[in-house]
Structure 1
Amino acid sequence: MSVAIIKKRTSAAKRAPANASNGSRDLLMVNSVAKAFRVLRVFDCSRPSLSLSEIAEIAGLDVSATQRFTHTLLKLGYLEKDAASRRFGLTVKVLELGQSYASANPLVKQAIPYLLHLNKDTEETINLTVLDETSIVFIVRFLSRHVFNTDVVIGTRLPAYCTAPGRAILSRLPSDEAEAIVSSSDLRPLTAHTPRTVADVMGRVARAAAKGYALQVEECFYGDMSVSAAVIDGRGRPVGAINIGVATTRYTPQEMEVRFAPMVVAAARSVSDISL
């Protein structure tokens, strides 16, 4: 082999990514953007304001990089800084991202009339949720005057495996796909009624598939019951779920199931019949 060819191959090897052969490096990934989102995501209800060092520690970044990201996000209007405490917090501008999602989402547009109708007819809390990895996310919520849990708002995430909307969605997925999601979930006991094994959850998913709706009683919060049915797209895939939530002090599980299950199934079927 000639020296020229050897040099050419050596030069090419130096230019190639170190782990290109195993495909583990995403060449299109902009790491600085990912880190900026890590900074934004450190804030929540338990951490509404944080110092620079706290942000760095939680986000897993060094202080110098965190300073650059927080400065950029301040300039863009997504973070604010208290002059006295020098602590950072999110601004209302962050809500623009959620509003853009909701206004552009065809599921939201098509479901809202049916959700409003359910809310008026039942006088109970009505939600529209979608599955994101192992969680459900609330994207529309109409409250009842009997509302039980005021901590659940638009954007709230709850485990799919122990919620009625989550199991309604899982029940319309291929069983191996649903089981993979459940197996990846953190099956921790949120209440004494939370299912704790994959087999238990999958049994409840199977019952939801047979009935056409899912039911949960105090699995995520004490005093809370919910019945839910999945919304299906034109390919037969679940794209979300509609649920009715009530307090255990107002109905027995049997009363709730008899009264509300047919209504939530009809609403979900009506939204599913619209082209998504």
Structure 2
Amino acid sequence: MADLEDNEFRDGDILQTLTRGLLVIACFDRVHRRMTPTEVARRVGLTRAAARRILITLVSTGYARVEGKQFELTARVLELGYAYLSSFGLPEIARTYMQEVSRELGESCSMAVLDRGEIIYIARAPAQRIMDQVLEVGGRLPAYATALGQVLMAALPDDDLTAMLDAYPPAPITARTITDRADLLARIEQVRRQGYALEDEELEVGVRSIAVPVRDRSNRVIAAMNVAAHVSRVPLADMTGAALSALRQAVNETERPIGHL
């Protein structure tokens, strides 16, 4: 292990295929969302044949899709970002502030990231009630029916959002679940404008929640934080009042150590 401890790597230690695959993933951006193998090869400095093999491998593993001659990344690439968040310690940074929110409001506070058509819980501060349902870290829920998911969906570029809804069309969960595509897109646009998402019994009858984005130093949304409460305990006005205020304060404190200005 001496070579690892000294950060001295021999050429033979570096897996060139993996290096090239990561470069191919990284070459996609807001401007270059869909590319042919020739375009990818030009941006990364590979032969067309090598770029094509890597792209086909990404398709076969679910990290990319192909339509005609053009390839694009899928939301599964976010799993790589989730691995980063886990190693970075974002849940640990946020947990103290989430617990303060839960104590102040007497309601549960959660943090999640987006994975394809679902959210994954990465941190939880449950309310101290015996009968409250406990959602474990690692639990998944459909993004479109949750305030957390709607915040994360609102951060996606329009093309990525369209692709997500194509791949994971909304289905009814309660009578209030938004399943009409136009209505859901209108909700997402509202979330973008106001900076938070409020869902009312769209995921579970009797439960409402409000969520706000968590951003990194580049102002990218990397997670979302929410408060969930039973409708009998917290009226809508309180969700957009005390709950939203407490959430924003917790997010501000969480973002400070990761360099968001």
Q: Secondary structure at the match of 1:274?
A: helix
Query: Whole-Å Cα distance in 1 between the matches of residues 228 and 214 of structure 2?
Result: 17
**Counterpart residue number, 1:26:** 57
Q: Secondary structure at the match of 1:152?
A: coil
> How far did 1:213 drift?
0.8
Query: Whole-Å Cα distance in 2 between the matches of residues 186 and 262 of structure 1?
Result: 32
Return the TM-score normalized by structure 2: 0.64
**Counterpart residue number, 2:95:** 112
Change (3 A) 1:146 1:215: farther
Query: Whole-Å Cα distance in 2 between the matches of residues 165 and 189 of structure 1?
Result: 18
Q: Does 1:273 align with 2:256?
A: yes
Check conservation: 2:214, 2:224, Cα contact below 8 A. yes
Query: Whole-Å Cα distance in 2 between the matches of residues 255 and 197 of structure 1?
Result: 28
**Counterpart residue number, 1:16:** none
Change (3 A) 1:116 1:135: same
Q: Which amino acid aligns with 2:115?
A: D
Q: Secondary structure at the match of 1:251?
A: coil
Q: Secondary structure at the match of 1:202?
A: helix
> How far did 1:267 drift?
1.8
1:163-214 deviations in whole A, cap 9, x for unaligned? 0011112223333333332332231100000011222111111111111111
Change (3 A) 1:108 1:25: same
| Identity of matched residues, % | 27
Q: Which amino acid aligns with 2:246?
A: M
Q: Secondary structure at the match of 1:193?
A: coil
1:223-265 deviations in whole A, cap 9, x for unaligned? 1110000101122221111100100111222232222112212
- Structure 1 runs not aligned, ≥5 long: 1-18, 31-99
Query: Whole-Å Cα distance in 1 between the matches of residues 166 and 254 of structure 2?
Result: 30
**Counterpart residue number, 2:29:** none
Q: Does 1:156 align with 2:139?
A: yes
Change (3 A) 1:164 1:103: closer
**Counterpart residue number, 1:144:** 127
Aligned to 1:188, which of 146, 166, 171? 171
Query: Whole-Å Cα distance in 2 between the matches of residues 117 and 134 of structure 1?
Result: 30
> How far did 1:148 drift?
6.7
**Counterpart residue number, 1:244:** 227
1:68-114 deviations in whole A, cap 9, x for unaligned? xxxxxxxxxxxxxxxxxxxxxxxxxxxxxxxx998634211221121
> How far did 1:25 drift?
4.7
Return the TM-score normalized by structure 1: 0.60
Check conservation: 1:119, 1:126, Cα contact below 8 A. yes
Q: Which amino acid aligns with 2:235?
A: T
- Structure 2 runs not aligned, ≥5 long: 1-48, 62-82
Q: Secondary structure at the match of 2:239?
A: helix
Structural RMSD (CA):
2.8
Check conservation: 2:119, 2:142, Cα contact below 8 A. yes
**Counterpart residue number, 2:197:** 214
Change (3 A) 1:179 1:149: farther
Check conservation: 1:183, 1:198, Cα contact below 8 A. no
Q: Secondary structure at the match of 1:26?
A: helix
Query: Whole-Å Cα distance in 2 between the matches of residues 213 and 201 of structure 1?
Result: 15
Q: Does 1:204 align with 2:235?
A: no
Query: Whole-Å Cα distance in 1 between the matches of residues 165 and 195 of structure 2?
Result: 19
Query: Whole-Å Cα distance in 1 between the matches of residues 170 and 246 of structure 2?
Result: 30
